[in-house]
Amino acid sequence: MGIRIICPCDCSGTLSFAETEGLQMTLDATICPTCDAEGSIVTYTQTGASFQSTIVRPSNCITHNGTTLLLVSGEGTLQNNAGSFPATFYLVLFERSGDIQDTFEFSLFYSDNDNLTALRFGRNVDDENLSISECPAE
């Protein structure tokens, strides 16, 4: 019998995205860097607002025919011109095999003054800006 290490994350992933035309924004994510949710962080900025995660839950991943989908959720704080608000996020990373661009989708939900606000967007990104790695099996 040996030591059995159980990894809470299915996989680890990174994303680095910046849009410099129109609505300027950045989204950076480090998910389960050591196959544990500890050390994970998601940050989003746009003109007049910023979000930083305080909790990132363990990732869920699906791999099929050389493509991998990573799903992660968590909580954090959104700061904008109206103040600071608790927020929830969902992030999906989709890594394709070969030279095809990868894709992400980001959703952020927060309530300011009793109104629910949702921000959702997704983009294709070059392969060097998104990566997913399998975590060791249980």
Can you give the pTM of this predicted structure?
0.89
By CB atoms closer than 10 A (0-12, 13-18, 19+), residue 132 is: buried
- Strand, coil or helix: what is 63? strand
53 pairs with which residues across the strands?
76
CA–CA separation, 39 vs 16, rounded Å? 16
Determine how many CB atoms are found less than 10 A away from the CB of residue 83.
9
Which pLDDT tens digit goes with each residue over 55-109?
999 999 999 988 999 999 999 999 998 899 999 999 999 999 877 899 999 999 9
Domain boundaries, the chain: 11-134
